[in-house]
Amino acid sequence: MAMTVILHRVRDYDAWRRVYKEVAPMQKAGGVIAESVYRAKGDPRTVLVLHSFGTMAEAEKFVGSPELRAAMDRAGVEGTPRIEFFEEATG
């Protein structure tokens, strides 16, 4: 299992959320098997997105896709998002 942690600021949360819902099929096709969204306490325009994948290769491919970048632009993501990759710990 792999997880991406994406932290970004958006111009308008409601507009961002509409695009996020629209790209659900793209997420599924890209290997997302679970997702969750959080907003920062005291700053609702700061959004944390967690996506789980079966493999790290799927996670890296999805995050690097031009389709995801285009969706982020359409959704009003400001600046450069902070993106981190995590692998499930074993043992």
For the chain, which residues make up each domain, given as ranges?
2-87
In which residue are the tokens 């009003």 written? 76
Strands 2-10 and 32-40: unpaired
Q: Which two tokens stand for residue 20?
A: 């996020």
Q: Provide the pLDDT confidence category of residue 66 given band limits of 50, 70 and 90.
A: very high
Average confidence (pLDDT) over 24-35: 96
Please state, in angstroms and rounded to a whole number, the distance separating the CA atoms of residues 80 and 91.
Answer: 35
Please state, in angstroms and rounded to a whole number, the distance separating the CA atoms of residues 35 and 42.
Answer: 23
Name the CATH topology of 2-87.
Answer: Alpha-Beta Plaits (3.30.70)
Are 76 and 10 in contact by the 8 Å Cβ rule? The answer is: yes
Judged against a pLDDT cut of 90, whether residue 71 lies above it is answered with yes
Using DSSP's 3-state secondary structure scheme, residue 23 falls into: coil
